[in-house]
Structure 1
Amino acid sequence: MTRPTKLSMFMGLVLWLSYARAQNAWENPVLVGVALFVALALPSISVVSNILDARVSTLAHHRLPGRLARFVAQLLVNIAIFAVMIVGRVIPPGGIDQVGGIAGAAAVTTLASQGLQAVALWLAWRGIGRADGNVLLALSANIVVAALAIAGIGWARQAFLIGGAGLAVLAVLTDLRAGWPRRAAPAATPVRDEAPEKAADSAP
């Protein structure tokens, strides 16, 4: 079993546990189906997102448009997941309305996800943890907080909304910084050879 498959299966388990606990929906078949979908389809979704990100960034000659394309793709997936969970009575409509409805919850979830991934990768680059492990912990925390926020937990709702906005700004600034042209180092000044002094004429 590959590492991405293991990570996606863990994410599916975290999603099921989070919403089952928050909404007391342990035996809801729709929640089980959504969790299985995440566990099985997340690697493919990640591959498609990466390809889309890379191609758009290449065409635009900047990283930010690629990140926006990735955001839109993941946003559509999250909207579909939230919509299915509402239809399947996993999430009460009143609960998700507290965080901006389906579109609002999906947008904040997606923005926070991208921001958390940027933080996780930055920590790994600084030698704190491993990239895949950091990303796994970050996305798991995002799922748990989202589930608690939709369940109506006050602190979780504030953390979800404010934290999502802050992480989104961080992700955008990171991409903008990566796209700024770097100043080339000043060229070294060539050292000119000094002309040798002429020898004095000898007296007759």
Structure 2
Amino acid sequence: MLEVLHRTAEPGVRPLSASAAPAPSALIAGWREGLAIVNLRGDAEDAAFRRAAAEALGVALPTQAGATSEGSTARVVWAGPDDWFVIGPKGHAEGLATRLREALAGQHHAVTDVSSGYTVLHLSGTPTREVLAQGCPLDLHPRAFKRGACAGSHFFKASVWLWQTDEAPEYELLVRRSFMGYVWLMLERTAAECGLVTRRFA
């Protein structure tokens, strides 16, 4: 379930009700708080490592730079030749980390639950690329960055890891919790012209 509320950078503006439809030109943004976020390290060239990780996650590890893979319960984001972020369901970090450790027992690997240090910001709506472009140097044009692509970058002064989830367009940003307030403030400022709608995830 989700609740949609209107939010603008201008003080004194009352929120719209959840039943009010957002403007077609608005940026829709919301924090996906509580997701399981696990960092996995290992040898991508080791077939046994890839096979064990895939069995634990239900989806193959992406081994190509700038790629993601998505299963029924987890998204895996490439972060380096031997480095991945695994994004799982809310409240399942411990179980996810345990499954990986058990599957990879005896192999060279590292599994770290980083859920307490990161959160995920979901962005959608017609102006998404234009808003991101004001603070992110990545070329997000469809010819260069498509659904399933990911990259490390920054949004103004906050380091982020970004991936595209839909051509609509929809994006998600992995953000350090200490930068949540700053990132949201910059979203409010950059979306002042088109409008910002808050999407609340259950």
Q: Which structure has the larger Rg?
A: 1
What TM-score, normalized by structure 1, do the two folds share? 0.31
Tell me the TM-score normalised to structure 2 length.
0.31
Q: Which has the higher contact order (CA 8 A, sep 6+)?
A: 2
Structure with the higher helix share, 1 or 2: 1
Higher strand share: 2
